[in-house]
Amino acid sequence: MPGFIFKKGRVGIVSKSGTLTYEAADQVAKAGLGISTAIGIGGDPIIGTPTKDAVELFMNDPETDAIVMIGEIGGGMEAEAARWIKETGNKKPVVGFIAGQTAPPGRRMGHAGAIVGGADDTAAAKMKIMTECGIYVVSSPADIGATMKKVLS
Closest CA to 25 of 35, 14, 10, 40: 35
Q: What are phi and psi of 108, to 5 degrees?
A: -70, 130
CA distance 153 to 146: 11
Candidate list 7, 83, 111, 128, residue with the active-site label: 111
Closest CA to 68 of 43, 102, 33: 33
Clarify whether 111 is annotated catalytic. Answer: yes
**Would you please indicate which residues are annotated as catalytic (active-site) residues?**
111
